[in-house]
């Protein structure tokens, strides 16, 4: 009986949407979401809320999340999914520091999410990016997004960083030479430990030590972050990977 009600409801929704002239793509997505939600499948993304770069792009990473959630509901099974990024010839797109195809799994049985970020390397002012987010199990769902990145040519400058070692600590100095405020994503290798009071933590290791953080730096300004070395190896700036990231609004 419940199955019949669901089928009848879907047919009614389709007819209403067609009568009002709604586009077929929207109709298809609506039906897909309605059907999968009825199965207890809640695979989604906050892409539309997070990615607002259609008419402004500062060259930094594009970030959003994939979700096993719909308000307080979640899928009981693990969700396997993949993301593909298609860009014009001569443009490079890397997903989470990998290639243009990324595969992962969201934990089931609870509200879960994964942060996704794209690095787009292009000399062009305008770049069209096509993103496909697709779950492969326990159900198949495809979310397609198109975005036109328009690089802000008013931003001028660069950034630099240095590491200076002292007796009991090392000091990482990041200089923002841009004419606008910037966010920097910092990763490193080795036994260096950072004070969490100075940064926004993104990742930690199994012992709870910070392994990645972001730092916002004002235009034409410099910030220093203190690291403590718990090993015997002496590090230089080559141990660090620093990239621009998007400022939070």
54 pLDDT more than 50: no
Q: Which long-range contacts (CB under 8 A, 24 or more apart) does 151-157 make?
A: 151/57, 151/58, 151/59, 151/122, 151/124, 151/125, 151/126, 151/127, 152/56, 152/57, 152/58, 152/59, 153/125, 154/179, 155/58, 155/59, 155/179, 155/180, 157/219, 157/220
Please determine, for residue 5, whether its predicted confidence score (pLDDT) is greater than 60: no
Residue 238 has pLDDT above 50, yes or no: yes
The predicted structure's pLDDT at residue 78: 96
Q: Per-residue pLDDT tens for 59-109?
A: 667 788 899 998 889 999 999 999 999 988 888 888 988 889 999 999 999
| Max CA distance (Å), the chain | 75
| Run of H or E including 14 | helix 2-19
Determine the pLDDT at residue 52: 47
**pLDDT grade for 25, boundaries at 50, 70 and 90:** very low
Write down the number of H helices and E strands in the chain: 3, 16
The predicted-structure confidence for 115-144, as pLDDT tens digits, reads as follows: 898 888 776 667 888 899 999 999 999 998
Reported as a single tens digit per residue, the pLDDT across 178-196 is 888 888 889 888 788 887 6
The residue ranking higher by pLDDT, 249 or 209, is 209
């Amino acid at each position: 009986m419940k199955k019949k009600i669901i089928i009848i409801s879907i047919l009614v929704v389709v007819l209403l949407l067609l009568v009002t002239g709604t586009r077929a793509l929207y109709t298809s997505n609506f039906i897909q979401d309605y059907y999968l939600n009825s199965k207890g499948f809640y695979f989604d993304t906050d892409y539309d809320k997070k990615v607002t770069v259609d008419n402004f792009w500062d060259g930094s990473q594009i970030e959003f999340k994939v979700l096993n959630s719909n308000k307080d509901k979640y899928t009981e099974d693990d969700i396997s999914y993949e993301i593909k990024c298609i860009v014009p010839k001569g443009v490079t797109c890397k997903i989470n520091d990998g290639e243009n195809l990324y595969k992962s799994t969201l934990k089931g049985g609870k509200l879960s999410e994964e942060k996704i970020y794209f690095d787009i390397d292009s000399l062009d002012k305008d770049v069209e990016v096509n993103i496909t987010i697709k779950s492969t199990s326990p159900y198949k769902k495809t979310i397609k997004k198109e975005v036109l990145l328009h690089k802000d040519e008013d931003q001028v400058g660069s950034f630099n960083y240095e590491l200076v070692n002292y007796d009991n600590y090392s000091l990482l100095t990041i200089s923002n030479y841009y004419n606008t405020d910037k966010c920097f994503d910092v990763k490193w290798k080795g036994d260096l430990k950072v004070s969490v009071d100075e940064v926004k933590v993104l990742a930690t290791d199994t012992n709870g030590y910070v392994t990645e953080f972001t730092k916002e730096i004002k235009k034409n300004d410099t910030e220093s972050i203190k690291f403590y070395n718990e090993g015997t190896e002496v590090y230089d700036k080559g141990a660090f990977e620093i990239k621009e990231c998007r400022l939070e609004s």
